[in-house]
Each structure stands twice: as C-alpha cells, then as structure tokens.
Amino acid sequence: MTLDVVEIQKILPHRYPFLLVDRVTSLNEGESIIAYKNVSISEPVFEGHFPGHPIYPGVMILEGMAQAGGILSFLSMGDMSEEEIASKVVYFMSIDKAKFRSPVRPGDQLEYRISVIKQKGTIWMLKGEAYVDNKLASEAELKAMIVDK
C-alpha cells in the first residue's frame, strides 16, 4: 500500500509546517510501515538550527517516527471510514530508548521504518528507526493510544 501526502492528511491532523511524513511506500497492517520525509533547506526549523550549519533536529525526527506510527496504528484498526478516522487522534504516551546515530541535513531523505512491538486494544508499542541512505540515523521505542477527539 502506498499513500501520498493528500491521503496522509486524511489520516493525520498535522499540517505544514508540522506534517513530517511525505509518503508511505509500504504498509503491513498490524506489523510495519515504511514512510519518507524529504528534508529541505526551506523548512522553517533551519532558520535557527543552526545558522550556517543546518542540522535537522532530533526531536523532529522523533515526531516524524511518531506520525508514521500514527498512520500505521490508524490503518491497522480495521476498516474505518474517513469520518471515523476524523473523529479520533493518536496521542503519544512515551518515547523511550531514543538514540541519535548520525546528523540529518537538508537534502537528505529520511526513511522511517516503524514496526509493532505490541498492541492491546487502542494502545500501541512501536519500534521506530530512521535511516538516511540505508544508514541508521535515529531509533526509539514509542508508545501511543488512539482516542476520541
């Protein structure tokens, strides 16, 4: 299953400049997702992080993982209509074991690889990894819950 940014916006409430997933290229419901974020120098975060030496902030990488995990969680909950999806939101409960392995710079393409560690009801425990050119840039464990808005 592939999703473009228009389809992603039907699932996630995030919008520019905080929508951090550009495309989904693979989804195995209840198991895993692969999604991408193209990092551009035109993003507002680079005005201050860091002038003359732009580095994509680790917290933004984690948020991108979380958004990809949110897409995986929503699309793994069975056949929900657009209206049902619109009435719910994913809240992240915790981020553990976060590590940053290498800097991410403008021009890089982040590949988010998210897999389900455990799922019970509306609570999801996910393993997130972010790669640039098949090199691990960041990793973390994420816990989330789908709730009514």
Active site residues: 49
Name the CA dihedral angle for 135, 140, 143, 146, rounded to a multiple of 10 degrees: -30
Q: Comparing C-alpha atoms, which of 137, 146, 149 is closest to residue 64?
A: 137
Element (DSSP H or E) covering residue 52: none
Non-local (6+) Cβ contacts of 79 within 8 A are none
Query: How would you classify the pairing of strands 23-28 and 123-132?
Result: unpaired
Upstream peptide bond of 100 is cis (omega within 30 degrees of 0): no
